[in-house]
């Protein structure tokens, strides 16, 4: 028996998602910094998704999935596996609809994210920090609960929801040359591709990835998905591999994937905290890190930078000793 053909979300799906989720998300601000412009030689526009109520862009895709369920599906709730932000955003959206949410999270996920899931009413089951363990434990949890699986990124509903971020960014800025965002599984980048390929096809999409979890960059160069099972990086939200749906968008619409070292990511995180005066987690610092590392690529350009989340464990910041 053949699998059903993969559904590729459309620009119209993104527009419908924006209407559906508008009561449940914030239209986040776009910030600029003269100092960061001077530092990079580019004009940077930071779309601050860290200022969403659950602290991450993933509230967009999660809300689209949750509020798109019919009543029979919703009664059993939703379930997912996630290193953190999708888990807490799905819990937030499920809480707003008043339905159950079960999430599988790696034992190593930041405590701040586990606490947030529970605060929003989600039930947490822990697993080992590998893709294989995550999927194995999740299969058991879903069988026990019967909840609707909302994949963290390889889901048309989620990608359509994430695409609403770029729609807002284009409405809030003018004449962008490049939009850059972090890439792990590729949900935000896919949503960006979905929106910009129709709304502003002239804008380059450049994904940013940690050197120590560079499977998307290697996949991009090889022309097929290369998946690492358990990469080690402080950018905990970017440890997961591309899947078939996100690979469709990455392979067709992304201009390039650039990487940054752990040290460069930490330095970019500190610079942003200091000069933009916002809290961002390590995963979100990767785009600025690659801009600083590749100044010649971005110099003189107007660059949209998606600040994807701000859920950090304040007792375990990456520049703290021990």
Phi, psi of 151 (to 5 degrees): -65, 145
Looking at the fold, whether 182 and 298 belong to one and the same domain comes out as yes
Q: Has residue 3 been placed in a domain?
A: no
Statement to judge: residues 42 and 74 lie in one domain: no
Tell me, yes or no, whether 117 lies in a domain: yes
**Does 164 share its domain with 295?**
yes
Residues 46-74 have a mean pLDDT of 96
4 within a domain of the structure (yes/no): no
Same domain membership, residue 102 and residue 162: no
Query: Within a domain: residue 205?
Result: yes
The overall pTM is greater than 0.85: yes
Q: Do 199 and 300 reside in the same domain of the chain? A: yes
Give the end of a domain, one of 99, 124, 149.
149
Tell whether the model's pLDDT for residue 3 goes beyond 80: no
Q: Based on the domain organization, do 122 and 143 belong to the same domain?
A: yes
The last residue of one of the domains, among 149, 165, 185, is: 149
Please check whether residues 268 and 196 belong to one and the same domain.
yes
Give me the number of domains the chain comprises.
Answer: 2
Residue 173 belongs to what H/E stretch?
Answer: none
- Residue 321: the pLDDT is 59
- Which of 163, 148, 161 is closest to 80 using CA atoms? 148
Query: Which pLDDT belongs to residue 132?
Result: 86
pLDDT category at 5 given cuts 50, 70, 90 is: confident
| Residue 278 included in any domain | yes
Any domain includes 312: no
Per-residue pLDDT at 316: 81
Task: Let me know whether 234 and 143 are in one domain.
Answer: no
Q: Which residues contact 94 (CB under 8 A, 6 or more apart)?
A: 66, 77, 78, 100, 101, 120, 121, 122
Same domain, 235 and 268: yes
Q: Which domain holds residue 248?
A: 11-57+155-307
pLDDT, position 4: 65
| Residues 160 and 214 grouped into a single domain | yes
109 compared with 260, residue with greater pLDDT? 260
* Closest to 264 measured CA to CA, from 221, 302, 235: 235
Distance CA(30)–CA(308), nearest Å, equals: 12
Q: Does some domain include residue 36? A: yes
Looking at the fold, whether 71 and 129 belong to one and the same domain comes out as yes
């Amino acid at each position: 028996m053949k699998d059903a053909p993969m559904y590729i979300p459309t620009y119209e799906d993104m527009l419908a998602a924006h209407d559906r989720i508008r009561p449940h998300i914030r239209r986040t601000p776009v910030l600029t910094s003269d100092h960061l412009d001077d530092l990079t030689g580019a004009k940077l526009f930071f779309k601050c998704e860290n200022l969403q109520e659950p602290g991450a862009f993933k509230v967009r895709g999660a809300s689209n999935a949750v509020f798109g369920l019919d009543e029979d599906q919703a009664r059993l709730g939703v379930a997912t596996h996630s290193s953190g932000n999708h888990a807490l955003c799905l819990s937030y959206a499920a809480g707003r609809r008043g339905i159950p949410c079960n999430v599988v999270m790696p034992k190593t996920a930041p405590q701040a994210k586990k606490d947030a899931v529970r605060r929003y009413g989600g039930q947490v089951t822990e697993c080992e920090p590998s893709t294989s363990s995550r999927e194995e434990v999740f299969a058991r949890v879903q069988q026990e609960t019967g909840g609707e699986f909302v994949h963290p990124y390889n889901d048309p509903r989620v990608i359509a929801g994430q695409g609403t971020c770029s729609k807002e960014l284009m409405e809030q800025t003018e004449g962008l040359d490049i939009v850059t965002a972090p890439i792990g599984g590729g949900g935000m980048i896919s949503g960006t591709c979905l929106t910009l390929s129709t709304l502003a096809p002239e804008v380059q999409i450049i994904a940013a990835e940690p050197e120590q979890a560079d499977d998307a960059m290697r996949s991009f160069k090889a022309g097929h998905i290369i998946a690492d099972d358990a990469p080690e990086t402080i950018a905990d939200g970017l440890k997961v591999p591309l899947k078939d749906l996100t690979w469709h968008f990455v392979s067709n619409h992304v201009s390039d994937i650039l990487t940054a070292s752990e040290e460069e990511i930490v330095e970019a995180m500190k610079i942003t905290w200091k000069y933009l005066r916002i809290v961002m987690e390590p995963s979100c610092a990767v785009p600025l890190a690659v801009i600083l590392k590749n100044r010649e690529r971005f110099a003189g350009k107007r660059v949209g930078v998606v600040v994807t989340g701000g859920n950090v464990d304040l007792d375990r910041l990456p520049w703290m000793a021990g």
